């Protein structure tokens, strides 16, 4: 089930950064045990881009253990981003098997979350036909336009501008450039749902992950025949849909034995951001969180479908019934810190960020556009690129790092402006993701947003924690009100007024830079 044909693909593995912001080395250990209580445990598995994370949640809602296993990304051409689906399964097995057998034997249910949008093409025997095309792959910009030309109601149906990161335009690209692969495609799955197939033998997805494909009627929470037809597909290619907190299937005996867990129910689960919301207790209209991971996300729950495609906001289903959410998404967030670390030759990210804080920002500091791999909200511009502006002969590495951290903060502020146009009033904003472990970054973001940021226990494993909670709900062991509670507050970072005033004046130049350079980006593509 996991054999892959590499015919026609000249693949090279990208070298991983010396220190990945989402890597287990920054979580602290590949495996940690926090409590040894007896009783039921709920397993959450998050199929990320840089690693697979596993979390065990006890019956009191506390994290009992966590582990992770790294993943590699392949970039065979500029703008391409791919992964071998076998990695997801192998890393899942490694991450779960790292947990002591005595704890695994107490698992009562399992939930899945994962990176969204990845196109995993399977043949009639459920074997991958090529490497999966990931969420941050930019090759299908022309196909986005073609798909909207084929189905003029695309934005009304999906609630979104079709972007290269989405799954549907990737299939048009494959049909155009790899017609034999497209001809042999019998099923299309998302990353976490390929792992579900390995676990259960069933092809199933949930509403939140499916909403990011470009094939879902998001208001009705069902596949759109019109969008599928525009992609030369039908419902026969698609997985069955369930709500994220509902049962989807049961572990096969073989998978249960390999993982060392009982043959338990697997919840529908959720896309990584929707699952993170459940982990942070962001489940009611107006509640919000900010994810400072490889990509950056501002997520706000809505009680109904509220699209805003003209501003490149995402309007997706939540992984809980009868709820939706809006997101602003930036493609390069915490990954920009890894990038500048390589540029200045400093492998210690904590030391790098501390140096930036010590140097600080002034009116004359350099500015950074953080669009290293293009941008989604609010620009929907796959051709945008990173820019350092205002360099001087005496510009130091600490200034460059401060500019990078500030540029990401400005991009989040742009996203918040978009969300406040059509969403419910945005309430408290919790923060999660590997970049949340950089205190100075939190100060800059709070000042740029002019909003406090709330740090909570377990925020760094939000998606896996949310997946475990969805597993508990699917097993019928607790209500949403009991299970989906906000973790305890660790600290709240209030916006610093002088810093906020400085950033407001600098942000005006930041925004003008993109407008002035937009045409040049397109010519440079």
For residue 422, tell me if it sits in a domain: yes
- Beta-bridged to residue 291, according to DSSP, are 297, 432
Q: Residues 188-214: what's their mean pLDDT?
A: 98
Side-chain-facing half-sphere of 151: CA atoms under 13 Å: 25
Do 251 and 326 form a contact (C-beta atoms < 8 A)? no
pLDDT over 60 (residue 163): yes
Instruction: Pick the catalytic residue from 272, 381, 414, 424.
Output: 272
Average pLDDT over residues 375-403: 94
- Is 269 exposed, middle or buried, given 0-12, 13-18 or 19+ CB atoms closer than 10 A? buried
Task: Look at residue 398 and tell me if it is in a domain.
Answer: yes
Assess contact for 418 and 328: CB atoms under 8 A: yes
Give the pair of three-digit tokens for residue 2: 């996991």
Q: Which residues contact 283 (CB under 8 A, 6 or more apart)?
A: 277, 301, 318, 320, 323, 480, 484
Question: What number is the average pLDDT over the span 220-242?
Answer: 98
59 belongs to a structural domain: no
* 225, pLDDT greater than 60: yes
- Summarize the confidence of residues 124-143 as an average pLDDT: 96
What are the two backbone dihedrals, phi and then psi, of residue 216, each rounded to the nearest 5 degrees?
A: -100, 135
Give the C-alpha distances (Å, rounded to integers) separating 409 from 129, 281, 503.
39, 24, 9
284 and 389, same domain (yes or no): no
Asked whether 326 and 337 are in contact (CB, 8 A), the reply is no
Q: Is the pLDDT of residue 501 over 90?
A: yes
Report the CATH number at residue 399: 3.30.420.40
**Least-confidence region, from 144-153, 161-170, 424-433, 501-510:** 424-433
- Residue 26 in this model has a pLDDT that exceeds 50: no
Q: Is residue 195 part of a domain?
A: no
Q: Same domain for 486 and 432? A: yes
Verify cis geometry, omega within 30 degrees of 0, for the bond prior to 23: no
Q: Are 488 and 459 in contact (CB under 8 A)?
A: no
Q: Is residue 508 part of a domain?
A: yes
Query: Residue 516: inside a domain, yes or no?
Result: yes
Question: 355 and 426: one domain?
Answer: no
Question: Does the pLDDT value for residue 3 go beyond 90?
Answer: no
pLDDT average, residue stretch 173-190: 98
* CA dihedral angle for residue 222, residue 226, residue 228, residue 229, rounded to 10 degrees: 150
Q: Flag whether 478 is in a domain.
A: yes
Q: Please state whether beta strands 288-292 and 429-432 pair in parallel, antiparallel, or not at all (unpaired).
A: parallel
Among 18-22, 157-161, 379-383, whose mean pLDDT is lowest? 18-22
351 and 475 both lie in a single domain: no
Q: Which whole number is the average pLDDT over 291-316? A: 92
126 catalytically annotated? no
Residues 486, 428, single domain; the answer is yes
Question: Are 397 and 502 found together in one domain?
Answer: yes
Provide the token pair at 122: 């399977």
76 vs 16, residue with greater confidence: 76
Residue 425 pLDDT: 81
In a domain, 37, yes or no: no
385 and 343 belong to one structural domain:
yes
Q: What is the pLDDT of residues 422-455, one digit of tens each?
A: 766 889 999 988 899 999 999 999 999 999 999 9
Mean pLDDT of 29-57: 80
Angle at 7 between CA 3 and CA 11, to 5 degrees: 90
How far is 173 from 445, CA to CA, in rounded Å?
37
Asked if pLDDT for residue 176 goes beyond 50, the answer is yes
Same-domain pairing of 314 and 349: no
Supply the Cα-derived Rg of the chain in whole angstroms: 22
Q: Which pair of structure tokens corresponds to residue 20?
A: 């990945």
Residues 309 and 405 in one domain: no
380 is in which domain, residue-wise? Answer: 335-411+498-524
| Tokens linked to 137 | 């792959």
pLDDT digits (tens, 9 = 90+) for 290-303: 999 888 999 999 98
Say if residue 484 is in the same domain as residue 341. Answer: no
My answer on whether 392 and 509 are in the same domain is yes
d(CA 190, CA 153): 24
Residue 369 phi, psi (nearest 5) = -90, 120
Closest CA to 103 of 154, 162, 40: 40
Cis peptide bond upstream of 378, omega within 30: yes
Stronger pLDDT, 25 or 466, i.e. the higher one: 466
Average pLDDT over residues 329-338: 93
Cα separation of 390 and 397, whole Å?
A: 14
pTM (2 d.p.) = 0.86
- Claim to verify: residue 379 and residue 286 sit in the same structural domain: no
Residue 142: CB partners within 8 Å, gap ≥ 6?
A: none
What total of structural domains would you count in the chain?
2
Q: Where are the alpha helices (DSSP H) in 284-367?
A: 335-344, 349-359
Q: Which residues of 414-453 are buried (b: 16+ CB within 10 A; e: fewer)?
A: bbbebbeebbbebebbbbbbbbbbbebbbbbbbbbbebeb
């Amino acid at each position: 089930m996991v054999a892959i044909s590499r015919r026609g693909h000249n693949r090279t593995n990208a070298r991983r950064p010396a220190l990945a912001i989402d890597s287990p080395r920054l979580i602290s250990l590949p495996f940690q045990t926090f409590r040894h209580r007896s009783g039921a445990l709920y397993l959450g598995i998050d199929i990320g881009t840089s690693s697979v994370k596993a979390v065990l949640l006890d019956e009191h809602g506390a994290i009992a253990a966590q582990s992770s296993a790294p993943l590699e990304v392949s970039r065979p051409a500029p703008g391409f981003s791919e992964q071998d689906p076998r990695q997801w399964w192998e890393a899942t097995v490694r991450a779960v098997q790292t947990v002591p057998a005595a704890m695994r034997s107490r698992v009562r249910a399992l939930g899945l979350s994962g990176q969204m949008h990845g196109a995993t093409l399977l043949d009639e025997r459920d074997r991958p036909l090529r490497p999966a095309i990931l969420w941050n792959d930019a090759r299908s910009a022309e196909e986005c336009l073609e798909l909207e030309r084929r189905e003029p109601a695309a934005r009304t149906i999906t609630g979104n501008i079709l972007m290269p990161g989405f799954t549907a335009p990737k299939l048009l690209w494959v049909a155009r450039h790899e017609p034999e692969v497209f001809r042999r495609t019998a099923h299309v799955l998302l990353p976490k749902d390929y792992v579900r197939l390995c676990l259960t033998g069933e092809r199933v997805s949930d509403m939140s992950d499916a909403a990011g494909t470009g094939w879902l009627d998001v208001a009705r929470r069902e596949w759109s025949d019109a969008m599928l037809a525009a992609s030369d597909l039908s419902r026969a290619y698609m997985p069955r849909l369930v709500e994220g907190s509902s049962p989807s299937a049961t572990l096969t005996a073989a998978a249960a034995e390999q993982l060392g867990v009982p043959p338990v129910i697997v919840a529908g689960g959720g896309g990584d951001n929707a699952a993170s919301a459940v982990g942070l207790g962001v489940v009611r209209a107006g509640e919000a969180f900010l994810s400072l991971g490889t990509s950056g996300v501002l997520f706000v729950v809505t009680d109904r479908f509220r699209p805003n495609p003209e501003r490149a906001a995402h309007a997706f289903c939540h992984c809980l019934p009868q709820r939706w959410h809006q997101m602003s998404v930036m493609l390069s967030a915490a990954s920009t810190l890894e990038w500048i670390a390589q540029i200045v030759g400093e492998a210690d990210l904590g030391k790098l960020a501390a140096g930036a804080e010590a140097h600080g920002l002034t009116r004359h500091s350099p500015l950074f556009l953080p669009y290293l791999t293009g941008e989604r909200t609010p620009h929907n511009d796959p051709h945008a690129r990173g820019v350092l502006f205002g360099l001087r002969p005496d510009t130091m590495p600490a200034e460059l790092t401060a500019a990078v951290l500030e540029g990401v903060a400005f991009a989040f502020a742009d996203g918040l402006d978009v969300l406040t146009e059509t969403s419910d009033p945005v309430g408290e904003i919790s923060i999660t993701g590997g970049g949340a472990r950089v205190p100075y970054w939190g100060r800059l973001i709070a000042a740029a947003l002019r909003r406090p940021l709330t740090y909570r226990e377990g925020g760094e494993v939000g998606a896996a924690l949310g997946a475990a909670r969805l597993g508990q709900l699917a097993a019928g062991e607790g209500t949403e009100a009991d299970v989906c509670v906000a973790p305890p507050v660790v600290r709240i970072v209030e916006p610093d007024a002088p810093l906020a005033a400085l950033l407001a004046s600098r942000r005006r130049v930041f925004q003008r830079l993109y407008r002035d350079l937009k045409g040049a980006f397109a010519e440079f593509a």
